[in-house]
Amino acid sequence: MSERNDRQEFCETNVIHYDIVENVREKMPPEDPVYDVAELFKVFGDSTRARMICALTVSEMCVCDIAALLGMTSSAISHQLRILKQAGLVRNRRVGKIVYYSLADEHIRQLFTVAFEHVTEEKGGQL
Amino acid sequence: MSERNDRQEFCETNVIHYDIVENVREKMPPEDPVYDVAELFKVFGDSTRARMICALTVSEMCVCDIAALLGMTSSAISHQLRILKQAGLVRNRRVGKIVYYSLADEHIRQLFTVAFEHVTEEKGGQL
DNA sequence: TTAACAGTTGAACAAATGTTCAAATGATAA
DNA sequence: TTATCATTTGAACATTTGTTCAACTGTTAA
């Protein structure tokens, strides 16, 4: 996590395009939410967690079932579920010994949908 | 990156809800795109890169200016721009000594917009 | 040619991350 | 109670990752 950085090299002291830098500084979104967004994407940015989220998009599932579906140990899944829970992305409910997990927010589906559109369009980027 | 995993513990051999697991297995998106999506999110999931993308949302910028704006060295920025370039998220054009970078795709803005909505709504998640 | 400088690159290093393993909970059923 | 089992947890480990530093391109201008 990059915090403040006072280290200054060469190039940094004399900005080339002062007007552009100031313009962007004014108009770009405030710092804190950007860090939160990065944090959110970081949680999505692991293939195991991404697969778990895709699975939970279809149906509520217990730890054991997710582990079976993805071919991993319950321990590994549980660790990742904890991360998803802390990020507020999943909810859970307990029924006896079994804990069912489900998606906590509709934004998640939306983000994955747009991301899927992006990766399935074969490099047809528009300027 | 989690590849295949043949390791089986206890819980994995006897799936609790066979019907649910099979249902999800059928309906969840195919494997490969999910890995691509995770890869995309991983690129977004670093605060430096996220800040760079937010800056480029406002205006095209050169390496030096981005470094000045974010208070980092050009080297660090250049390394990250390479990652963004490889992911197909930024384009660049050279004008003399200066290299200008800009966003390559409209999906990026869209993804960040939705992500911002998510993080700014203070935990008001709907079921 | 030479000097200056924007940008890139590779090696090195510290910090963060995901999985495994073993042990511990917590709930059910005998 | 005891045994069983789904789940959680913490420590350990290997791997990945971001930044720094120094050296190197490539372009401009003297």
**pLDDT 10s digits, B51-67:** 999 999 999 999 999 99
Q: Is the pLDDT of residue A127 over 80?
A: no
Please check whether residue A51 touches B, CB under 8 A: yes
Q: Is residue A127 part of a domain?
A: no
pLDDT digits (tens, 9 = 90+) for B63-92: 999 999 999 999 999 999 999 999 999 999
Q: Is the pLDDT of residue B9 over 60?
A: no
pLDDT digits (tens, 9 = 90+) for A23-63: 999 989 888 899 999 999 999 999 999 999 999 999 999 99
Q: Is the pLDDT of residue A11 over 50?
A: no
CATH of residue B87's domain is 1.10.10.10
Q: Is residue A116 part of a domain?
A: yes
Give the integer Cα–Cα distance in Å for B12 and A43. Answer: 25
pTM (predicted TM-score): 0.86
**Cβ–Cβ gap B12/A44 under 8 Å:** no
According to the model, what pLDDT value does residue A106 have?
Answer: 87
The domain containing residue A74 runs over which residues? 18-120
Q: Is residue A11 part of a domain?
A: no
- Sorted by sequence, the CB contacts under 8 Å of residue B127 that are 6+ apart come out as A91, A104
- Chain A nearest-CA distance from B43, in A, is 7
Q: In what order do the strands lie in the sheet with B61-62?
A: B61-62, B98-103, B90-95
Q: For chain B, where are the E strands, in sequence order?
A: 61-62, 90-95, 98-103
- Chain A nearest-CA distance from B80, in A, is 13
Please check whether residue B124 touches A, CB under 8 A: no
Q: How many domains are contained in chain A?
A: 1
* Angle formed by the axes of helices A106-120 and B31-44, nearest 10°: 100
Please check whether residue B79 touches A, CB under 8 A: no
* Choice between B27 and A36, residue whose per-residue pLDDT is larger: A36
Q: Is residue B110 part of a domain?
A: yes
Distance A11 CA to D12 C1' (A): 43
Q: Is residue A115 part of a domain?
A: yes
Which residues from chain A sit within 8 angstroms of residue B116, using beta carbons? 29, 33, 37
Q: Is residue B32 part of a domain?
A: yes
- Answer whether B112's CB lies under 8 Å from A91's CB: no
Please check whether residue A114 touches B, CB under 8 A: yes
**Cβ–Cβ gap B55/A28 under 8 Å:** yes
pLDDT digits (tens, 9 = 90+) for A53-92: 999 999 999 999 999 999 999 999 999 999 999 999 999 9
Give the integer Cα–Cα distance in Å for B90 and B102. Answer: 5
Q: Is residue A3 part of a domain?
A: no
- Nucleotide with minimal C1' distance from the CA of B76 is D19
Q: Is residue B37 part of a domain?
A: yes
